Amino acid sequence: MLRTAIAVAAVLAMNTASAAGPIESFFHYDAPREPVAGDCDAIAAAIGRDAAWYGEFSGNRYDNFSDQSWPYGARGCFKSEYACRVWQQQSITCLLQGTLRYTFCRPLGYR
């Protein structure tokens, strides 16, 4: 019994001594952040309109805690197709099991 009391006291002391103890970190949740897209005018001026890529994304972002969905959309320009595709996948991650409406990446000069 004494060993249990000492162990509990030690855990509580460690928990209060640290800024974010094990109990607080258990209840802490960070939702995925929305990915950042580039400014089309700035990227087109830097590398040329024909070399830049444009991406759009639309879907419903799902919240596990409230069991609700909210519209989520984003658009932006990128220096390469690869950067646009990475942004697409990060945007899909932000939906948190929500529905995907559409997404695309294409050359900026295509618009």
pLDDT tens digits, 15-39: 554 555 666 666 666 666 778 889 9
* 15 lies in the same domain as 63: no
* 25 lies in the same domain as 1: yes
Supply the pLDDT for residue 95.
83
* 18 lies in the same domain as 49: no
* 104 lies in the same domain as 54: yes
Supply the pLDDT for residue 7.
61
Asked if residue 101 has pLDDT above 80, the reply is yes
Asked if residue 76 has pLDDT above 80, the reply is yes
Asked if residue 14 has pLDDT above 60, the reply is no
* Mean pLDDT of the 4-21 span: 58
As for how many domains the chain has, the answer is 2
Q: Domain range spanning residue 23?
A: 1-30
Per mean pLDDT, which of 7-16, 47-56, 64-73 is the most reliable?
47-56
* 61 lies in the same domain as 25: no
Asked if residue 108 has pLDDT above 60, the reply is yes
80-97 in b/e burial notation, b at 16+ Cβ within 10 A?
Answer: eeebbeebbebbeebbee
Supply the pLDDT for residue 86.
94
* 6 lies in the same domain as 40: no
* 67 lies in the same domain as 94: yes
* 17 lies in the same domain as 41: no
* 56 lies in the same domain as 79: yes
